[in-house]
């Protein structure tokens, strides 16, 4: 199954890319996707996630053709 992964704001610079396509053998979760693209590190609590443009958690299942997006923490004053 193929998943499109997008990175926003400062994560673009940190990851060194805007988006990528990853192929998985089975249904996976947002948290497992993060680990795959980040050398096994778990998803930080302050990173926001979305699946198909809806907020999601690390345990949200991802299916073939889904788009997963990661956002850095938002700050303001």
How distant is the alpha carbon of residue 27 from its chain centre? 15
Three-state secondary structure call for residue 15 = helix
Domain-wise residue ranges, the chain: 2-71
- Give the pLDDT confidence of 38-69 residue by residue, as tens digits: 999 999 989 999 999 999 999 999 999 999 99
Can you give the pLDDT at residue 77? 59
Q: Give the global pTM.
A: 0.90
- Quote the CA–CA distance of 56 and 74 in Å, as a whole number: 16
CATH number for 2-71: choose from 3.40.50.140, 3.90.105.10, 3.10.310.30, 3.10.20.30: 3.10.20.30
Six-digit token string for 20: 């990528």
Q: Are 25 and 39 in contact (CB under 8 A)?
A: no
């Amino acid at each position: 199954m193929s998943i499109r992964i997008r990175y926003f704001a400062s994560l673009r610079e940190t990851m060194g890319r805007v988006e990528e396509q990853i192929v998985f053998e089975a249904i996976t979760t947002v948290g497992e996707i993060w680990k795959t693209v980040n050398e096994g590190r778990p998803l930080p609590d302050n990173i926001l996630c979305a699946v198909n443009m809806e907020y999601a958690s690390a345990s949200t299942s991802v299916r073939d053709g889904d788009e997963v997006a990661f956002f850095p923490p938002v700050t303001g004053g």
